[in-house]
Amino acid sequence: KAGVTQTPRYLIKTRGQQVTLSCSPISGHRSVSWYQQTPGQGLQFLFEYFSETQRNKGNFPGRFSGRQFSNSRSEMNVSTLELGDSALYLCASSPYRDSDEKLFFGSGTQLSVL
Protein backbone atom coordinates (compact mmCIF):
# COMPACT_ATOMS: atom_id res chain seq x y z
CA LYS A 1 0.00 0.00 0.00
CA ALA A 2 1.49 3.35 -1.02
CA GLY A 3 2.15 5.86 1.74
CA VAL A 4 1.24 9.52 1.92
CA THR A 5 2.69 11.36 -1.07
CA GLN A 6 3.52 15.04 -1.04
CA THR A 7 4.59 17.04 -4.06
CA PRO A 8 6.76 18.85 -4.77
CA ARG A 9 9.54 17.88 -2.37
CA TYR A 10 11.23 21.27 -2.57
CA LEU A 11 10.04 24.72 -3.61
CA ILE A 12 11.77 28.07 -3.86
CA LYS A 13 9.58 31.15 -4.16
CA THR A 14 9.97 34.89 -3.72
CA ARG A 15 8.02 37.18 -1.44
CA GLY A 16 4.59 38.08 -2.71
CA GLN A 17 4.16 34.98 -4.85
CA GLN A 18 1.66 32.25 -4.13
CA VAL A 19 2.23 28.52 -3.88
CA THR A 20 0.16 25.33 -4.03
CA LEU A 21 1.22 22.12 -2.31
CA SER A 22 -0.32 18.73 -2.95
CA CYS A 23 -0.96 15.73 -0.73
CA SER A 24 -2.23 12.29 -1.74
CA PRO A 25 -3.34 10.28 1.29
CA ILE A 26 -3.11 6.55 1.75
CA SER A 27 -5.80 4.79 -0.27
CA GLY A 28 -9.02 4.64 1.74
CA HIS A 29 -8.06 7.44 4.12
CA ARG A 30 -10.57 10.25 4.14
CA SER A 31 -9.02 12.61 6.69
CA VAL A 32 -6.12 14.82 5.64
CA SER A 33 -4.49 17.31 7.97
CA TRP A 34 -1.74 19.85 7.29
CA TYR A 35 1.06 21.06 9.56
CA GLN A 36 3.78 23.68 9.37
CA GLN A 37 7.14 22.85 10.92
CA THR A 38 9.77 25.50 11.65
CA PRO A 39 12.82 25.41 13.95
CA GLY A 40 11.38 28.20 16.09
CA GLN A 41 7.71 27.20 16.40
CA GLY A 42 7.91 23.44 15.94
CA LEU A 43 4.95 21.60 14.42
CA GLN A 44 1.79 23.68 14.19
CA PHE A 45 -1.62 22.52 13.03
CA LEU A 46 -2.96 24.30 9.95
CA PHE A 47 -6.24 22.57 9.11
CA GLU A 48 -7.95 19.24 8.66
CA TYR A 49 -10.25 18.07 5.88
CA PHE A 50 -12.66 15.17 5.84
CA SER A 51 -14.89 14.28 2.89
CA GLU A 52 -14.12 17.58 1.13
CA THR A 53 -15.07 19.65 4.20
CA GLN A 54 -12.75 21.57 6.50
CA ARG A 55 -13.46 20.22 9.98
CA ASN A 56 -10.85 22.04 12.04
CA LYS A 57 -8.58 25.03 11.57
CA GLY A 58 -5.49 26.26 13.38
CA ASN A 59 -4.46 29.82 14.14
CA PHE A 60 -3.02 30.88 10.81
CA PRO A 61 -3.91 33.94 8.71
CA GLY A 62 -6.34 33.72 5.83
CA ARG A 63 -3.42 33.59 3.37
CA PHE A 64 -3.29 29.89 4.21
CA SER A 65 -6.11 27.91 2.65
CA GLY A 66 -6.81 24.40 1.54
CA ARG A 67 -9.23 22.11 -0.12
CA GLN A 68 -9.93 18.44 -0.54
CA PHE A 69 -11.17 16.67 -3.62
CA SER A 70 -13.62 13.81 -3.96
CA ASN A 71 -10.73 11.31 -4.19
CA SER A 72 -9.44 12.62 -0.80
CA ARG A 73 -6.38 14.28 -2.34
CA SER A 74 -5.76 17.65 -0.75
CA GLU A 75 -4.05 20.86 -1.69
CA MET A 76 -2.99 23.79 0.41
CA ASN A 77 -2.36 27.24 -0.94
CA VAL A 78 -0.39 30.11 0.53
CA SER A 79 -0.90 33.49 -1.07
CA THR A 80 1.27 36.61 -0.80
CA LEU A 81 4.23 34.67 0.56
CA GLU A 82 6.29 36.14 3.39
CA LEU A 83 9.81 35.23 4.49
CA GLY A 84 8.36 33.70 7.63
CA ASP A 85 6.42 31.16 5.58
CA SER A 86 9.65 29.29 4.92
CA ALA A 87 9.06 25.91 6.52
CA LEU A 88 8.57 22.20 6.06
CA TYR A 89 4.90 21.59 5.29
CA LEU A 90 3.67 18.16 6.27
CA CYS A 91 0.42 16.44 5.61
CA ALA A 92 -0.97 13.44 7.43
CA SER A 93 -3.81 11.07 6.69
CA SER A 94 -5.98 8.66 8.63
CA PRO A 95 -9.18 6.78 7.80
CA TYR A 96 -11.63 8.85 9.85
CA ARG A 97 -9.45 10.60 12.47
CA ASP A 98 -10.95 8.44 15.19
CA SER A 99 -9.27 8.09 18.56
CA ASP A 100 -7.74 4.70 17.74
CA GLU A 101 -6.21 5.77 14.45
CA LYS A 102 -2.58 6.65 13.98
CA LEU A 103 -1.61 9.57 11.80
CA PHE A 104 0.49 8.70 8.74
CA PHE A 105 2.73 11.49 7.52
CA GLY A 106 4.23 12.28 4.15
CA SER A 107 7.87 13.34 3.72
CA GLY A 108 6.85 16.97 3.43
CA THR A 109 7.41 19.90 1.10
CA GLN A 110 10.31 22.16 2.02
CA LEU A 111 9.33 25.71 1.08
CA SER A 112 11.93 28.44 0.95
CA VAL A 113 10.78 32.03 0.48
CA LEU A 114 13.48 34.46 -0.69
Q: By the criterion CB under 8 A, which residues form the site for other proteins?
A: 4, 6, 33, 35, 42-45, 48, 55-56, 58, 88, 90, 92, 99-108, 110
Taking the alpha carbons at both ends of the chain, their separation in whole angstroms is 37
Q: Please, what is the minimum distance in Å from the beta carbon of residue 39 to other proteins?
A: 10
Q: Please, what is the minimum distance in Å from the beta carbon of residue 2 to other proteins?
A: 14
Q: By C-beta, is 50 or 113 nearer to other proteins?
A: 50
Distance of alpha carbon 103 from alpha carbon 114, whole angstroms = 32
Phi-psi region of 64 (alpha: psi -120 to 50; beta: other; left: phi over 0): beta
